[in-house]
Amino acid sequence: MHKPNLIDSMSERLYIFDTTLRDGEQVPGCQLNTVEKIQVAKQLETLGVDVIEAGFPISSPGDFNSVIEISKAVTWPTICALTRAVEKDIDVAAEALQYAKRKRIHTGIGTSESHIKYKFNATHEEIIERAVAAVKYAKKYVEDVEFYAEDAGRTDNEYLARVIEAVTKAGATVCNIPDTTGFRLPNEYNEKIKYLYEHVDAFAAGKSILSTHCHNDLGMATANTVAGVLGGARQVEVTINGIGERAGHTSLEEIAMIFKTHPDLGIETNINTTKIYPTSRMVSSLMNMPVQPNKAVVGRNAFAHSSGIHQDGVLKNTSTYEIMDPKAVGIDDNAIVLTARSGRAALKHRLNVNGIDIDGERLDKVYEEFLRLADRKKEVTDDDILVLAGGDRAQTHNVKLDYLQVTTGMGVRSVASIGLCIANEHFEAAASGNGPVDAAIKALKSIIKREMTLREFTIQAISKGSDDMGKVHMQVEHAGHVYYGFGANTDIVTASVEAYIDCINKFK
């Protein structure tokens, strides 16, 4: 019998299943297009993940297409597609996976009392039958079939073991035990995984492995995932920066660094940890999802010691207060800084280091933008160029900002005049407001006469100086929907208006 908390002296392999492009991408307003998804998938391959969950093919033509294109673009990781326990879903997933060199279908059904009763209006036995039928059906297409028991966190362990026993007998190679609502405590999740390991023969027999899938509603996702691994799970489902709906998911970087900094746990992953930071920056930039400054491993302050006592200790010997070397996660303080004198090759190299491979006309366009920025800013950082490389998304916008002029100051009312290009027609307006952003948005609204309300407005300077690029994230409500927008500029008022316009361009 496996002793889950006492791992043998030889390290055991933990498989990293990345769901940034499926569960992570469910964050409203953070959807990526296929080209961006391929970029992230290739970076995940460089990072060393074992499985990429590329999408839920039946859910939309976009998801279907992304699974096809990612399958073509990626070589080593297994490409996984999500389905419900429904034959049509599985047919479509199998079709989307046709080009994958290694493929997996991820099928499943809700197993908790509330799912059985309210979602399916079924009996416990019917759920087991549907689960088994789905796994058997998926096995017709692929050898590697993962089964998920949705809301397993709140499913009675004895019943869950019956479901899992049945699906492993039907051929499930991986059994995913999602804590869908992020409810379980770490000791409870550990016991659940241990219970399944001990009551379902396939795990000790090496015919199937258990997988964790922990949401972060109570801030316990990473702790629960570690508890699951200590309980016997050998796959973890994670996202870059812990992104995901609501409070997010277990973050890949935290799990990779936990097992790296605790070799005594005897768990090894295939993650090349020096690629963690560039991957985090890329995902944050493409999804317009800022990383909180105090985020473990990849936050701006994760390695910044500000208290005098800490600084003194770190200067004498880094191990005094640092348990990880920033270089081990790919943070390189000596990274080349680009300036107005840097050439195209240097820009291309830095973009490459950050996982962006561009050439030809697209590189020329980003280089032009880069030179404009370098004129305004002494040093251009990796974050800046990631924003520039993502900027071409605005090229397809219907509404574009032509110019913006604002007069503002203390003791006077701000006045803004704005020029917009809408479907190749030019419009101008002016307005006053109680600040420069207020005036500019009022002027904008006097041209775009639609019901819209600003719901959220976050300004973030990218790094240090007063000449820095500012990033603005906005949420605007229109006709019952909330739209997310992003803008980046050395002028924070312009960035704000760009973010508002980005929202408007997404209106349905």
Contact with ligand KIV (CB under 6 A): which of 77, 178, 228, 470?
178
Q: Contact letters (x/-) for ligand KIV, 309-328, by CB under 6 A?
A: --------------------
Q: How many other C-beta atoms lie within 10 A of the C-beta of residue 383?
A: 19
Stretch that binds Zn ion, among 20-28, 140-148, 367-375, 400-408 (CB under 5 A): 20-28
Stretch that binds ligand KIV, among 173-181, 193-201, 277-285, 434-442 (CB under 6 A): 173-181
List binders of ligand KIV among 180-239 (CB under 6 A): 180, 213, 215
Strands (E), 287-413: 399-407
Distance of CA 496 to the CA centre of its chain: 24
Contact with Zn ion (CB under 5 A): which of 23, 69, 144, 146?
23
Which residue is at the shortest CB distance from Zn ion? Answer: 23
Between the CA of residue 260 and those of 15, 266, 284, 365, what are the distances in Å?
A: 14, 9, 24, 40
Query: Pick from 172, 52, 63: which is nearest to 109 by CA?
Result: 172
498 binds, among ligand KIV, Zn ion, none (CB under 5 to 8 A by kind): none
Question: How much helix, strand and coil, in percent to the nearest 5, is found in the chain?
Answer: 45, 20, 35
Helix (H, G, I), strand (E, B) or coil at 460: strand
List binders of ligand KIV among 122-141 (CB under 6 A): none
Query: Pick from 213, 202, 231, 227: which is nearest to 177 by CA?
Result: 213
Least distance in Å: CB of 66 to ligand KIV?
17
Contact with ligand KIV (CB under 6 A): which of 15, 64, 148, 370?
148
**Angle 34-47/276-287 helices, nearest 10 degrees?**
170
Ordered strands of the 399-407 beta sheet: 399-407, 414-422, 425-433
Residue 150 interacts with ligand KIV (CB under 6 A): yes or no: yes
71 binds, among ligand KIV, Zn ion, none (CB under 5 to 8 A by kind): none
Q: Phi, psi (5° rounding) for residue 394?
A: -70, -15
Residue 249 interacts with ligand KIV (CB under 6 A): yes or no: no
Q: Contact letters (x/-) for Zn ion, 358-397, by CB under 5 A?
A: ----------------------------------------
Residue nearer to Zn ion on the CB measure, 39 or 155: 155
List binders of Zn ion among 397-426 (CB under 5 A): none
For residues 433 and 442, the answer to whether their CB atoms sit within 8 Å is yes
Stretch that binds Zn ion, among 22-30, 319-327, 332-340, 376-384 (CB under 5 A): 22-30
Between CA 229 and CA 210 the distance in angstroms is 9
Least distance in Å: CB of 505 to Zn ion?
30
Between the CA of residue 353 and those of 356, 382, 445, 466, what are the distances in Å?
A: 7, 9, 41, 26
Least distance in Å: CB of 392 to Zn ion?
32
Residue 179 interacts with Zn ion (CB under 5 A): yes or no: no
Binding site for Zn ion (CB under 5 A): 23
Binding site for ligand KIV (CB under 6 A): 23, 148, 150, 176, 178, 180, 213, 215
